[in-house]
Amino acid sequence: MKKAFFSDTPEILYKETDMADLVRNPCRFGCDVQIVCTRGSAEISTGIQSYNMRRGVGLFFLGGGLVQAVNPSPDFTVRMLLYPKEVMLKALLPLDTDFLNYLHEYPCFDHLEEGASEQEWYGVMLWMDMAALLFSRSIPRFRRYIEQNFVQSMLMCLYNSVPLQRRSVALENAGRQMLCHQFVRLIRENSTQERMLSFYAGKLGISSRYLSDIVAENFDGKTPKQLIDAQLTAEIKVQLDNPELTVGEIAHYFNFPDHTSMSRFFKRNTGMSPKEYRTKRKTM
């Protein structure tokens, strides 16, 4: 079984794939991830959120996160890029703050939706073709400059492909729903280490009670703790799929006092102990 956690990638990686490896074994990516669907359909899950993928739909996860492919069609195919943190950081510096905020809160792009420019999807495919040309082979000289220029130019084109009206609506939506989007992003980025509601409320600059209200509004009455626990449970499952890690090591990674505490948490949320979960996975 492959290692479940990718802390980063030393260089831009490109591949065309059916994501079969991520159907049975979801992965947590520490690097930035771009996924563009070219054929078929599937659901991409990040734990507590899911995105319906079909031809023309793209995802861009700044900061990475948990990724799993669910119920892919037999012809499901994507073009996928992994970006090193260092390259992405330098590429993002000169970009418009509004776009970065938009990309953080709205990582899904439908390049073939009604009203999209006829050239939008064509342009996305050109960037993927360029990525295949550049990053499917060795680049002996100037690789870092090529990578940085590629990422920066591609993001600028992606920004220009987002209709002004859509960006304006997103900026106007700076109230309760935007706070909910930000809360979900914070969970995705921090749930492996932070489980206290006060941490997330503090990051958002609001009270725990107010956070509970907006989560209930946007998630069918669920509580923030339910979302945090659901994401953490999904993250634990990823690490349990790595046979090289003991339950104790996984508990330490997720900041539990001991393996017993994590086992209780996991069983409360799944109905199985970590050992039972691993046994079940081996028979699948």
DSSP 182-237: HHHHHHHHHTTT---HHHHHHHHTS-HHHHHHHHHHHTTT--HHHHHHHHHHHHHH
Average pLDDT rounded to a whole number, residues 43-52: 93
Q: Are residues 125 and 204 in the same domain?
A: no
Enumerate the H helices of 17-142 as residue ranges.
Answer: 21-24, 85-92, 97-105, 118-135
Question: How far, in Å, are 71, 182, 214, 243 from residue 44 at the CA level?
Answer: 9, 19, 25, 24
Q: Are residues 133 and 254 in the same domain?
A: no
Q: Are residues 59 and 151 in the same domain?
A: yes
Q: Are residues 110 and 153 in the same domain?
A: yes
Q: Determine the length of the chain.
A: 284
In a domain, 151, yes or no: yes
The enclosing domain of 240 has a CATH number of 1.10.10.60
In a domain, 171, yes or no: no
- pLDDT, residue 156, reads 87
Instruction: Note the pLDDT tens digit of each residue in 72-127.
Output: 999 999 999 999 988 988 888 877 777 777 788 789 999 998 877 878 899 999 99
What secondary structure does DSSP assign to 122-154, as a single string? HHHHHHHHHHHHHHSS---SSHHHHHHHHHHHH
- pLDDT, residue 171, reads 54
Q: Is the pLDDT at 64 greater than 70, yes or no?
A: yes
The enclosing domain of 158 has a CATH number of 2.60.120.280
Q: Are residues 201 and 73 in the same domain?
A: no
In a domain, 168, yes or no: no
Q: Are residues 208 and 135 in the same domain?
A: no
Average pLDDT rounded to a whole number, residues 165-178: 59
Q: Are residues 226 and 151 in the same domain?
A: no
Instruction: Note the pLDDT tens digit of each residue in 17-39.
Output: 999 989 888 888 989 999 999 99
Instruction: Tell the residue number behind the tokens 């069609």, with chain if given.
Output: 73
Tell me which of 135, 162, 189 is where a domain ends. 162
Tell me which of 128, 162, 196 is where a domain ends. 162
Q: Are residues 124 and 221 in the same domain?
A: no
Give percent of the chain above pLDDT 90. 58
Q: Can you tell me the distance from the alpha carbon of 64 to that of 269, in angstroms, rounded to the nearest whole number?
A: 24
- pLDDT, residue 132, reads 96
Q: Can you tell me the distance from the alpha carbon of 123 to that of 37, in angstroms, rounded to the nearest whole number?
A: 14
Average pLDDT rounded to a whole number, residues 183-200: 91
Instruction: Note the pLDDT tens digit of each residue in 227-240.
Output: 999 999 999 999 99
* Lowest-pLDDT range of 48-62, 64-78, 85-99, 184-198: 85-99
Tell me which of 101, 128, 162 is where a domain ends. 162
Q: Are residues 108 and 75 in the same domain?
A: yes
Q: Are residues 30 and 122 in the same domain?
A: yes
281: which 2 tokens? 């996975």
Give the DSSP H or E segment for 178: helix 176-190
In a domain, 169, yes or no: no
In a domain, 218, yes or no: yes
Q: Are residues 45 and 115 in the same domain?
A: yes
Band of pLDDT at residue 167, cut at 50, 70 and 90: low
Q: For the chain, what is the mean pLDDT?
A: 88
Q: Can you tell me the distance from the alpha carbon of 170 to that of 109, in angstroms, rounded to the nearest whole number?
A: 13
Q: Which domain holds residue 88?
A: 5-162
- pLDDT, residue 180, reads 85
Average pLDDT rounded to a whole number, residues 196-203: 94
Band of pLDDT at residue 43, cut at 50, 70 and 90: very high
Q: Are residues 10 and 145 in the same domain?
A: yes
Three-class DSSP category at 6: strand
- pLDDT, residue 158, reads 86
Q: Can you tell me the distance from the alpha carbon of 255 to that of 246, in angstroms, rounded to the nearest whole number?
A: 14
How many structural domains comprise the chain?
Answer: 2
Give the DSSP H or E segment for 27: strand 27-29
- pLDDT, residue 179, reads 84
Average pLDDT rounded to a whole number, residues 234-247: 91
In a domain, 170, yes or no: no
- pLDDT, residue 4, reads 47
In a domain, 167, yes or no: no
- pLDDT, residue 169, reads 54
In a domain, 96, yes or no: yes
